[in-house]
Amino acid sequence: MFSFFRKKEKQLESIGFDSLNCDIHSHFIAGIDDGSPDLKTSVELVKKMKSLGFKKIITTPHVMHDFYRNTPEIILSGLEDLKNELKAQSIEIDISAAAEYYVDFYFESKLNADEAFLTFGDKHILIETSFVSEPPNFSESIFKLQLKGYKVILAHPERYSFMSIDDLKKYKSRSVELQLNLLSLLGYYGSECRRKAEQMIESNMVDYVGTDCHNLNQSTLYHKCATNKYWHKLINSGTLKNHLL
């Protein structure tokens, strides 16, 4: 009966992405994975990221044996096409490419064969795995990467249903860095994913955020994060390292 007298929750001010400087996770190379289908869309996506305040983009196409058998040559060739088109349209932004590597048997075979991986920063490598179950030798593959000098970043750990917060703390204790998807804060991937993202932020576990942007529809949603209270907590936590890349 007193609901009419409750105060509305105060609207938080908008905090943009300028301070991040760099987005480390996106899919903007045309036609090579489930991201941008063509060069025109890639350009529009880059323009949208720039309007959001990002000054640097490290785009990360999927490398997944069963679906996207991308090689460094394929990715870098696509990057060159995109950079040329951006230059032709006088769109100035720092853009480079790495990859989002799916850790499975085939990844491990490449690792054992000492094949070269696309990295960024100080030999940082972005990895992902199944959303529903941990593959065999996942932890061992991470250890092997670290022995070879790679700095491992686990993409969107809040989306892995089999990983608990305690599991993620164990990875953190092994120097694995964690990258949160911005859209997780909006419940884009479901309420459970959002709750885990909030727990990660409360526990100061997030090292990087990424858009993980695949399409124009997603690109219209990121501005909604700007007034999200967990985005505010994250940006004020001092844990984020995007600006160091």
C-alpha–C-alpha distance, residues 170 and 174, integer Å: 7
Question: How many Å apart are CA 195 and CA 211, to the nearest integer?
Answer: 18
Residue 1 is predicted with a pLDDT of 44
Q: Is the pLDDT of residue 37 over 50?
A: yes
CA angle 37, 43, 48 (to 5 degrees): 110
Whether residue 3 is predicted with pLDDT greater than 60 in this model: the reply is: no
pLDDT digits (tens, 9 = 90+) for 185-241: 999 999 999 999 999 999 999 999 999 999 999 999 999 999 999 999 999 999 999
- Percentage of residues in the chain with pLDDT exceeding 90? 92
pLDDT at 11: 74
Q: Going from the N-terminus, what domains does the chain have, and what CATH number goes with each?
A: 14-237 (3.20.20.140)
Question: Which helix (H) or strand (E) segment is 94 a member of?
Answer: strand 94-97
- Quick: pLDDT tens for 105-146: 999 999 999 999 999 999 999 999 999 998 889 999 999 999
What's the whole-model pTM score? 0.94
Per-residue confidence (pLDDT) for residue 9, from 0 to 100: 55
Task: Judge residue 13's burial from the number of C-beta atoms within 10 Å of its C-beta, 0-12 exposed, 13-18 middle, 19 or more buried.
Answer: exposed
Listed range (10-24, 40-54, 152-166, 215-229) with the worst mean pLDDT: 10-24
DSSP 92: -
What is the number of alpha carbons within 13 Å of residue 188 lying toward its C-beta?
Answer: 21
Q: Once rounded to an integer, what is the mean pLDDT over residues 48-70?
A: 96
Say if residues 231 and 184 touch (Cβ distance below 8 Å).
Answer: no
Helical H runs in the chain?
39-51, 72-88, 105-112, 138-147, 165-173, 191-202, 216-219, 229-235
CA distances from 215 to 16, 49, 62, 154, 241 (A): 20, 12, 14, 22, 25
Distance CA 108, CA 64 (A): 12
Residues whose CB is less than 8 angstroms from the CB of residue 112 and which lie 6 or more positions away in sequence, other chains included:
144
